[in-house]
């Protein structure tokens, strides 16, 4: 009875309950738990210690990391607590973030295995393919901290990276500097109204930015305006999903899009787009993406200029 009383008291904390549910689903290290529940590492470590002292979770060392997993099964008197934690409403979106974390972990493991094979380095292949491309002037819409921007700058003639966040732009600029890249300009601006000349870009990249804006037509129209005749637009976006927590926690305005709706929006601004790919296809993550590619025609650019 004393054990049950202590367990009930410990699990009265909602964060501790969330952590128990997460490690009950998959073995996790401290950093992964921190990224999932969004609280300080010191607090997470305290919660893990309490759960471990009750015998609910175990601690194991593997590959230089300490991992935590569930230490009891259906035979334990404490099992009903674990079951209730698992059945509780997921108001924080923990399960979706866990699925995405596990998918990324699997991708990294697969990549590392491939890198052990001669000739399988994706960076070498990317560099080789980039050397075959003509130098392009690129505009990166909603660049964030510049992960994609830096890769674009490796082969582009010049990249203009745009975001609303000054802090994110500074990180993107710092990342480019560390790589020795000097062909990058950052710009803090509204994606629907940019202080850039018409017909000045060879390529506009809009990677997972449309779900952050209310009026996607205005953003696509600006992207189309910036393109030279024959210039291309790449749009990477999320498929429809039901993770409503992303609106309050991540500022999403849309819960994904049907590819045909974005394709139609691109057509309205003169971009003839085709669906290039859909992925990842794993059922374990609610966040699947699609890629549309399209070309700006000379006639539609003239119409935009006159408008």
- Show me where the domains of the chain are located: 2-92, 130-306
Compare 67 and 105 and report the one with higher pLDDT.
67
CATH number for the 2-92 domain, one of 1.10.10.10, 3.40.190.10, 3.40.50.1110, 3.40.220.10?
A: 1.10.10.10
Q: Which of 298, 150, 144, 130 is nearest to 224 (CA)?
A: 298
Q: Are strands 137-141 and 28-29 parallel, antiparallel or unpaired?
A: unpaired
Integer-rounded Cα Rg, in Å, for the chain is: 24
pLDDT digits (tens, 9 = 90+) for 51-95: 888 888 899 887 667 889 988 888 887 787 778 777 778 888 888
What local confidence, expressed as pLDDT, does residue 111 receive? 44
Architecture of domain 130-306 in CATH? 3-Layer(aba) Sandwich (3.40)
Q: Residue 28, SS3?
A: strand
Residue 153, both tokens = 């700058």
Cα(113)–Cα(128) distance, integer angstroms: 21
Mean pLDDT within 27-38: 88
Q: Report the alpha-carbon angle 189-194-195, nearest 5.
A: 100
Cα(251)–Cα(16) distance, integer angstroms: 26
Q: Is this prediction's pTM over 0.85?
A: no
Is the predicted pLDDT of residue 118 greater than 50, yes or no? no
For residue 255, list its beta bridge partners: none
Cα(122)–Cα(108) distance, integer angstroms: 12
2-92 matches 130-306 in fold: no
pLDDT digits (tens, 9 = 90+) for 143-178: 999 988 998 998 899 999 999 999 999 999 999 999
b vs e for 58-70, b when ≥16 Cβ sit within 10 Å of the residue's Cβ? eeeeeeeeebbeb
Is the predicted pLDDT of residue 303 greater than 60, yes or no? no
Mean pLDDT within 263-276: 92
Are the C-beta atoms of residues 98 and 161 closer than 8 Å to each other? no
Are the C-beta atoms of residues 290 and 239 closer than 8 Å to each other? yes
Is the predicted pLDDT of residue 120 greater than 50, yes or no? no
């Amino acid at each position: 009875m004393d054990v049950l009383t202590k367990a009930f008291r410990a699990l009265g904390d909602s964060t501790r309950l969330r952590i128990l549910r997460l490690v009950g689903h998959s073995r996790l290290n401290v950093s992964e738990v921190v990224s999932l529940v969004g609280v300080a590492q010191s607090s997470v470590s305290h919660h893990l210690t309490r759960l471990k002292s009750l015998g609910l979770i175990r601690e194991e060392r593997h590959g230089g990391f300490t991992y935590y997993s569930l230490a009891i099964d259906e035979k334990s008197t404490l099992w009903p607590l674990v079951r209730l934690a698992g059945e509780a409403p997921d108001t924080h979106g923990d399960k979706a973030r866990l699925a995405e974390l596990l998918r990324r972990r699997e991708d990294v493991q697969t990549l590392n295995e491939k890198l052990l094979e001669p000739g399988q380095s994706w960076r070498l292949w990317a560099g080789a393919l980039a050397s075959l491309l003509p130098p392009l002037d690129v505009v990166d819409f909603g660049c964030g901290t510049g992960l994609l921007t830096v890769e674009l700058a490796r082969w582009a003639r010049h990249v203009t990276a745009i975001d609303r966040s000054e802090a994110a732009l500074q990180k993107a600029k710092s990342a480019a500097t560390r790589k020795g890249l000097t062909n990058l300009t950052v710009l803090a601006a509204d994606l629907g109204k940019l202080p850039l000349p018409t017909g000045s870009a060879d390529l506009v990249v809009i990677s997972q930015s449309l779900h952050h804006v209310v009026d996607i037509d205005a953003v696509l129209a600006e992207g189309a305006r910036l393109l030279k005749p024959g210039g291309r637009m790449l749009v990477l976006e999320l498929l429809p999903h039901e993770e409503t927590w992303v609106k309050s926690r991540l500022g999403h305005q849309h819960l994904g899009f049907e590819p045909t709706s974005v394709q139609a929006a691109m057509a309205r601004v003169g971009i003839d787009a085709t669906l290039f790919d859909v992925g990842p296809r794993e059922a374990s993550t609610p966040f699947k993406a699609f890629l549309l590619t399209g070309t700006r025609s000379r006639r539609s650019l003239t119409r935009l200029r006159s408008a």
